Chain A
């Protein structure tokens, strides 16, 4: 080190040291117009066990990696000319570290430049974190793309929406457009769903609890997609809802699959009903008539035998006639189950009353009450589905419930019709493993599928000793297929 450099060092080193002490991962090297280092300090220097003496008096290009000597020389000289440059490189002593090297002029009095500074900062951890963050963002974007889920963050005070790329893609929004709920998003919501979505959003402003609701959106080309929105509110220190964060998932394919499944199930049930009707007609028009005719012939034979006939033969004919009558009665009941004529002729309420009466006759039921809020006939498909559910539920009451009282209730509103069959029987534990097989046996799956095929909902509420409630809700008309209607 020259005497002049040593003098400058003694005057400025304290200042550099103070600056660098409080800046972690920093090394500051001050150099003169010959690029000779006259001060070396910084927390990173000490933390690595390096001493200023390793740097002082050496030229800056010599302390770095030999490959970087030329660019270091150029940037040092540029700093002496007043320019600022930077580049990143790996360390010379420890190649695993990444350093951001910044070359700045060192001003002196009267605007003169007395030398330069190399501020080297260890950015290894920062770059790793940035790379991990970038990778994480890429993974999130990829996951959102695959799952067709977009995320959003809605500021209630500014109405500003920060959304993921996938959500923009989902809603068909341009990537560079600043969004608010009012502009860009609300207008994409299907006109028929806007009022309902607005009601949800209105409630959310006062209630931060998690929410989930479905709605449809209309893309620019007119395509309609079904979306499931989920999220929850964020409150400030005063408990006010200030933001909402959440996701929108494209469930169009799922809804289309649901609709297709419902359509197919509906066709299966329709085919089953048709088959039952044909079988019932065959039994009624053929077998019942023939058996009844045979019964008349038997009776005629008895009359012909009259008083002159053998009492044993008369007794035998009488017994055969009686057995035949019992078989015909049984066959008529089978026909009634296959094709309940009263349902076709007189509607659901009348059919349920007969079914309730039949249930009372077959089981030790004291009462089977019917309450109905129906005013007129329902869609025949809806009537048939509800009747079949009630028929199965009452069959379960008769065969399994050990109940004394049962009740069948129908409620009808402009939105739909609800059938509820409850009993005071022994109930069952719906979570019990042994019951799983019985669930199929009780026809619960068939009942659920039948109701859901028509766009309705099905629920069984029961517990051991608590009786059972079977509830089926159906729309008044059979829904149309697909999310876009």
Chain B
């Protein structure tokens, strides 16, 4: 099985670097990084990652708007929101934007890895089996 391909989006450089290091160490493939939502949309369209790990508050474009655009362009791509804001109202908005999950920074790191694998599994369930194509169906 291929390693899950991730796009990591966060405007905080130190946190993004630590996150990328952790995810690589944990066996994920980080195919790209972005520091704002607009760059994230462009990279998502270009790189077609399995999962986007998305911050909420960022310059240029926020995580919710970026999620909507990514889901419009690539519905199978899963977006996991990782934010410092713990808010049921924001969680509701994230669900409505199409996020797979809403995680709070500073939570148990094991939870992050678990959710990323769940998102990966969900993406695979949405895509045709490997080697098949819509023509074959």
Q: Which residues of A contact B (CB under 8 A)?
A: 284-285, 288-300, 303-304, 321-322, 324-325, 327-329, 331-332, 335-336, 341-342, 345-346, 350, 353-354, 357
Contact = CB atoms under 8 A, between A and B. Distances in A.
B1 interface: no
B26 interface: yes
Contacts of A328: 105-106
A317 B129 CA distance: 40
B18 A341 contact: no
Given A299-B109, A303-B25, A321-B109, A345 B84 contact: no
B19 interface: yes
Contacts of A297: 18, 21-22
Contacts of B84: 284, 288-289, 292, 332, 335
A324 B18 CA distance: 15
Given A292-B84, A325-B106, A354-B89, 5 more contacts: A292-B105, A293-B17, A294-B18, A296-B22, A300-B21
B90 interface: yes
Contacts of A299: 22, 109-110
Interface in B7-49: 12, 14-15, 17-19, 21-22, 25-26
Residue from B17, B21, B22, B106 whose CB has the most chain A CB atoms within 10 Å: B106
Interface of A is mostly: helix
B107 interface: yes
A328 B104 CA distance: 10
Nearest to A285: B12
B87 A296 contact: no
B72 interface: no
Contacts of B88: 342, 353-354, 357
Given A291-B106, A324-B106, A325-B106, A341 B15 contact: no
B36 to A, nearest CB: 14
B41 to A, nearest CB: 22
Contact of B87 (A291, A329, A354): A354
B86 A290 contact: no
Given A288-B106, A325-B107, A342-B90, A296 B85 contact: no
Closest 5 CB pairs of A and B: A328-B106, A299-B109, A293-B18, A292-B105, A296-B18
A303 B26 contact: yes
B115 to A, nearest CB: 14
B85 A341 contact: yes
A346 B109 contact: no
Contacts, number: 86
Given A288-B105, A289-B105, A321-B109, A296 B86 contact: no
Interface in B104-119: 104-110
Nearest to B14: A293
A296 B113 CA distance: 11
Interface residue range, chain B: 20 to 34
Contacts of A331: 106
A381 B12 CA distance: 31
Contacts of B25: 300, 303-304
A84 to B, nearest CB: 98
A321 B109 CA distance: 8
Contacts of B26: 303
Contacts of A304: 25
A316 to B, nearest CB: 15
A303 B106 contact: no
Residue from B14, B21, B84, B104 whose CB has the most chain A CB atoms within 10 Å: B84
A332 B108 CA distance: 15
Contacts of B109: 295-296, 298-299, 321
Interface string B66-107: 000000000000000000111111100000000000001111
A345 B109 CA distance: 28
Contacts of B86: 329, 332, 336
Contact of B22 (A285, A303, A332): A303
B14 A342 contact: no
A299 to B, nearest CB: 4
17 contacts: A284-B84, A288-B106, A293-B15, A296-B18, A300-B21, A321-B108, A325-B106, A325-B107, A325-B108, A327-B106, A328-B106, A341-B90, A342-B87, A342-B88, A345-B90, A346-B89, A357-B88
A292 B106 contact: yes
Nearest to B55: A289
Nearest to A306: B25
Contacts of B21: 296-297, 300
A361 B25 CA distance: 37
A455 to B, nearest CB: 30
Given A342-B87, A342-B90, A293 B12 contact: yes
A289 B87 contact: no
A294 to B, nearest CB: 7
Nearest to B17: A293
Given A288-B106, A325-B106, A328-B106, A293 B19 contact: yes
Contacts of A342: 87-90
Contacts of A354: 87-89
A329 B106 contact: yes
A303 B19 CA distance: 13
Given A289-B15, A297-B21, A300-B22, A341 B87 contact: yes
Contacts of A325: 106-108
A200 B110 CA distance: 71
B28 to A, nearest CB: 11
A357 B105 CA distance: 21
Contacts of B104: 332
